[in-house]
Amino acid sequence: MKFITIKKRTICIVLACIVLICSLVGIFYAVSTASSPQPYYTVVIDAGHGGIDNGSIGYSGTLESEINLWYAKTLNEYFSQFGFKVIMTRENENGLYGPFASNKKKDDMKVRQSIIENAKPDMVISIHMNSFKETSSRGAQVFYAKDSTTGHLLAQNIQNQFKKLLIKPRNECQVGDYFIVNCTKYPSVIVECGFISNPEEEQLLLTEDYKNQVCYAVVCGTLSYLMSNDALS
């Protein structure tokens, strides 16, 4: 899949602000882990869909499974730079189901759940792209499990960063009845990075600069969550 790179002065300025914010927040993380040779936090990054499951199809034909993986790999790089141990549920275009699975979707989700449970992470971040019949719908939004206090807190912090740093995100995070946020006790969120059914936002989501902005915002929100969660502990 060929992604687009667009250089705009405004995007560069916003990106520079994101780097500065992350650097400042990262001081907390660096101090808290300086005496430990092992990563202090573990995050599972889940690239939604894959294999025979393409997910949603964008206005101009973008496959959600491909762009999810593109964003997830960048998020992996950013979290790793901050010293996190990162576990990816998938690292290529293949699905996670077995070759003889009678129900590939169900088998795929069970494998994702198993990866999460084995990792015992501090949080799970599942990357998706949204789609709706009304092509005017747009905006990044985070979803969490109804009864998860920590999941809600993680979602709020990421959504707050979206509101500060992205173009026209949704105003609030929202409860979502999805398998990936309900299948485990660990704080889990689904990050819908934007609507690929919206022609303008689809093209924005396909740019290197905007992808970097979204991923920085997710990392900043996660670090903010860790600070606030530690304060509540």
The number of folded domains in the chain is 1
Round to whole Å and give the CA distance between 1 and 107: 26
Q: Is the pLDDT of residue 226 over 80?
A: yes
- Full domain range(s) for residue 115: 39-94+105-219
Q: Report if residue 6 sits inside a domain.
A: no
Query: What is the model's pTM?
Result: 0.85
What pLDDT band is residue 39 in, cutting at 50, 70 and 90?
Answer: confident
Q: What percent of the chain has pLDDT over 90?
A: 80
Instruction: Note the Cα 49 to chain centre separation in Å.
Output: 13
Q: Report if residue 68 sits inside a domain.
A: yes
Q: Each residue of 163-172: pLDDT tens digit?
A: 999 999 999 9
CATH number of domain containing 200:
3.40.630.40
Q: Is the pLDDT of residue 7 over 60?
A: no
| Strands, E assignment, 36-150 | 42-47, 85-88, 123-130, 141-144
Round to whole Å and give the CA distance between 143 and 154: 10
Q: Report if residue 109 sits inside a domain.
A: yes
Q: Report if residue 43 sits inside a domain.
A: yes
Q: Each residue of 175-206: pLDDT tens digit?
A: 999 999 999 999 999 999 999 999 999 999 99
Q: Report if residue 117 sits inside a domain.
A: yes
Q: Report if residue 10 sits inside a domain.
A: no
Q: Report if residue 99 sits inside a domain.
A: no
Q: Each residue of 87-112: pLDDT tens digit?
A: 999 999 999 999 999 999 999 999 99
* Backbone torsion region of residue 38, taken as left when φ is above 0, otherwise alpha when ψ lies between -120 and 50, otherwise beta: beta
Give residue 228's pLDDT.
Answer: 85
Whether 206 contacts 194, CB under 8 Å? no
Q: Report if residue 31 sits inside a domain.
A: no
